[in-house]
A and B are shown apart, each in its own frame.
Chain A
């Protein structure tokens, strides 16, 4: 059900930005816009459909939790 709302939202965003970019031949902007929007589409659809995608917070935790532990251990 939510996926329909999502599709409508994405159509709205594309209609809002893309025609102007194509008319003014801003291809670089169009590329960046499409790439970002594609990424947004993938992660938001995955969230709506309850599919697990890699979570950047887990990545941050993996990299930065050990140094944080080290830092705070000086002040126990």
Chain B
């Protein structure tokens, strides 16, 4: 089965790709949204419940992917539910990804405008972000995977390190009582982190590029657990510093970074965090952008995905400006329709495809290697 591109990536690059698919925006938005619903037990929602959910998503997606080694999502959905159905699945994922990139870009722009450069028009950040990502996409999956390995491993460990620098302000009594109002609010608060963690379903797009498709499953589990660790740590530290007031910030992580003051010597590290996040979000957008473009090329049966990059970029840029009036509306949208929308493509569609594949005996041992 022909791929759009001949690039190959290794297992550890694959793992970091999946970390990036979730982490950069999650680090910004998840603490406030989760703490608002779950209060002092938010770290259980964000760290434990969402991680189990992520493991479930990865299990479903990689079981589906392993039945059809080396094939793309559109090709095997075509085999499972017929050619037209495959195209429809492709079209839905393209829409989700393009819309998703518009949302990510808006989050990024709002973050920069709110926290650092209130005078600059937001579209400036959007144009630069999408232009950079477009150039990364045109260079192919290998370039993205290598750059991502460098940028995001750096981001991952320095975020942990930086957050631990606020140790002077930690007060773990803020985390008590655990499960104050039972498990209900914890699950309810977990919906947002769950939809974020479930974005690892994009492993379906990158699986065909792996040197050895058997490496996908362990790498994806590792990525989900790493995300669980860093997000739980972030929520715990936010709670320990701000208590439940953290829910009132749009970007508690940024407020946290500006709190850092070690011995009157290490201060104002939020600029450092900014540099990491800009790099991280650029990688996240590149990965989503790449997925949308190759998926589109595959759905339309094209030989080359590169001509689609710029027109898609125009659509993303326009949507990033017009979909939402402001950041509150965006956050509201996440709360009101986010969970079911994300579930529809992260879990429901892969599960349906998997069930159909098993029932119709498509893929698996006899047609695989």
Most buried by A among B188, B191, B304, B322: B322
Most buried by B among A57, A65, A67, A76: A57
Q: Given A56-B319, A67-B340, A72-B188 in contact, is the A44-B314 Cβ separation under 8 Å?
A: yes
Select one of A40, A55, A63 contacting B311, CB under 8 A. A40
Query: Using Cβ atoms and an 8 Å threshold, which residues of chain A touch B338?
Result: 64, 68
Q: Given A32-B302, A56-B99 in contact, is the A37-B340 Cβ separation under 8 Å?
A: no
Most buried by A among B191, B307, B341: B307
**Contact between A76 and B184 (Cβ–Cβ < 8 Å)?**
yes
**Contact between B184 and A75 (Cβ–Cβ < 8 Å)?**
yes
**Contact between B321 and A47 (Cβ–Cβ < 8 Å)?**
yes
A50 to chain B, nearest CB (A): 10
Provide the main secondary structure of the chain A interface.
helix
Q: Given A43-B319, A71-B191 in contact, is the A36-B333 Cβ separation under 8 Å?
A: no
A52 to chain B, nearest CB (A): 9
Query: Using Cβ atoms and an 8 Å threshold, which residues of chain B touch A71?
Result: 191, 339-340
Interface size of A by CB at 8 A reads 36
Could you mark each residue 35-74 of chain A with 1 if its beta carbon is under 8 Å from any beta carbon of chain B, else 0? 0110111011001000001011100110111011101100
Query: Using Cβ atoms and an 8 Å threshold, which residues of chain A touch B318?
Result: 40, 43-44, 47
Select one of B188, B303, B324 contacting A57, CB under 8 A. B324
Query: Using Cβ atoms and an 8 Å threshold, which residues of chain B touch A61?
Result: 333, 336-337
Complexed CA–CA distance, A33 and B310 (Å):
9
Q: Given A28-B301, A29-B304 in contact, is the A36-B188 Cβ separation under 8 Å?
A: no
B187 to chain A, nearest CB (A): 5
**Contact between B191 and A72 (Cβ–Cβ < 8 Å)?**
yes
**Contact between A32 and B188 (Cβ–Cβ < 8 Å)?**
no
The residues of A with any CB-CB pair to B shorter than 8 Å are: 9-10, 13, 16-17, 21, 26, 28-30, 32-33, 36-37, 39-41, 43-44, 47, 53, 55-57, 60-61, 63-65, 67-69, 71-72, 75-76
Q: Which 9 residue pairs across A and B have the least CB separation, nearest first?
A: A40-B314, A36-B311, A67-B340, A75-B188, A64-B337, A64-B340, A64-B341, A37-B311, A68-B340
